[in-house]
Amino acid sequence: MNQRKLEVTYQPFERTTRVPPGTTLFSAAHWIGLPIDSTCGGRGTCGKCKVRVLQGATEVTTADHRQLRKDEVDSGWRLSCQARIYEDITCEVPQLLRVPKAATMGLSRLVIIDPNVRKVFLELAEPDLHDQRSDIARLRDALSAEGHEMSAGVAVLRTLPKVLRESSFKITAVLAGDHLVAVEAGDTTEECFGVAFDVGTTTLVGTLMNLRTGMAAAVRSTLNGQAPYGADVISRISHAMNGQEAIDDLKTAVVSTMNGILTELYREAGITPERTYEAVVVGNVTMLHLLLGIDPTPISVMPFTPAFMDALSVPASEVGLRIHPAGYVQTLPALGAYVGADIVSGVLATGIAREDKVRVFVDVGTNGEIVIGSSQRTLATAAPAGPAFEGSQIKCGMRATDGAIEGVQLGDTVELQVIGGDVPPQGLCGSGLVDAVAQLLNVGLLNHSGRMLSAAEAPDHPLASRLMEVDGVRAFLLAEGVYLSQRDVRELQFAKGSIATGIKVLMDILGVDPSDLDEIFLGGSFGSYLNPESAKIIGLVPPVDVDKIIAVGNSAGEGAKIALLSYRERQVAFELPARIEYIELSGRTDFNDAFVSVLGFPNLELVG
Inform me whether the pLDDT recorded for 95 exceeds 90.
Answer: no
In this predicted model, what pLDDT tens digit does every residue of 444-455 receive, in sequence order?
Answer: 999 999 999 999
Q: 383 with 585: CB under 8 angstroms? A: yes
pLDDT band at residue 393 under the 50/70/90 scheme: confident
Closest C-alpha among 584, 581, 605, 560 to residue 197: 560
Inform me whether the pLDDT recorded for 99 exceeds 80.
Answer: no
Q: 328 with 352: CB under 8 angstroms? A: no
Residue 54 identity: L
Q: What pLDDT does 97 receive? A: 58
Q: 511 with 534: CB under 8 angstroms? A: no
Q: 440 with 410: CB under 8 angstroms? A: yes
In the chain, how many H helices and how many E strands? 18, 28
Taking all residues of the chain, what is their mean pLDDT, rounded to a whole number? 89
In this predicted model, what pLDDT tens digit does every residue of 294-322 receive, in sequence order?
Answer: 999 998 888 889 999 999 999 999 999 99
In this predicted model, what pLDDT tens digit does every residue of 121-132 receive, in sequence order?
Answer: 999 999 999 989
Please indicate, yes or no, whether the overall pTM of this predicted structure exceeds 0.75: yes
| 164-178: b (≥16 Cβ within 10 Å) or e | beebebebbbbbbbe
In this predicted model, what pLDDT tens digit does every residue of 30-41 receive, in sequence order?
Answer: 788 787 888 777
Rounded CA separation 20/5 (Å): 5
Q: What pLDDT does 199 receive? A: 94
Q: Which fold has domain 351-386+504-600?
A: Nucleotidyltransferase; domain 5 (3.30.420)
Within a 10 A sphere around the Cβ of 400, how many other Cβ atoms? 18
Same fold, 6-97 and 351-386+504-600: no
| 203-239: b (≥16 Cβ within 10 Å) or e | bbbbbbbbbbebeebbbbeeebbbeebbbbbeebbeb
In this predicted model, what pLDDT tens digit does every residue of 205-246 receive, in sequence order?
Answer: 999 999 999 999 999 999 889 988 887 788 899 999 999 999
Closest C-alpha among 313, 309, 332, 283 to residue 176: 313
Q: Is the peptide bond before 542 cis (omega within 30 degrees of 0)?
A: no
Closest C-alpha among 381, 383, 375 to residue 579: 375
| 191-195, 241-245, 348-352, 383-387: least confident range | 383-387
Closest C-alpha among 9, 22, 127 to residue 83: 22
Rounded CA separation 83/73 (Å): 12
Q: What pLDDT does 3 receive? A: 59
Rounded CA separation 140/120 (Å): 12
Q: What pLDDT does 100 receive? A: 66
Q: Work out the burial of residue 459: count CB atoms within 10 Å of its CB; fewer than 13 is exposed, 13-18 middle, 19 or more buried.
A: exposed
Rounded CA separation 49/36 (Å): 6
Q: Which numeric CATH code is attached to 6-97?
A: 3.10.20.30
Q: Which numeric CATH code is attached to 117-185?
A: 3.10.20.880
pLDDT band at residue 605 under the 50/70/90 scheme: low
pLDDT band at residue 607 under the 50/70/90 scheme: very low
Beta bridge partner(s), residue 123: 170
The single-letter DSSP state of residue 325 is T
> What sections of 206-243 are H helices per DSSP?
233-240
Q: Degrees (nearest 5) of the Cα angle 350, 352, 357? A: 110
Residues 44-57 have a mean pLDDT of: 88
pLDDT above 70 coverage of the chain, percent: 96
Residues 397-418 have a mean pLDDT of: 90
Inform me whether the pLDDT recorded for 256 exceeds 70.
Answer: yes
pLDDT band at residue 1 under the 50/70/90 scheme: very low
Closest C-alpha among 162, 161, 190, 158 to residue 174: 190
Inform me whether the pLDDT recorded for 437 exceeds 80.
Answer: yes
Beta bridge partner(s), residue 415: 409
Q: Which fold has domain 193-331?
A: Nucleotidyltransferase; domain 5 (3.30.420)
Per-domain residue ranges of the chain: 6-97, 117-185, 193-331, 351-386+504-600, 388-491
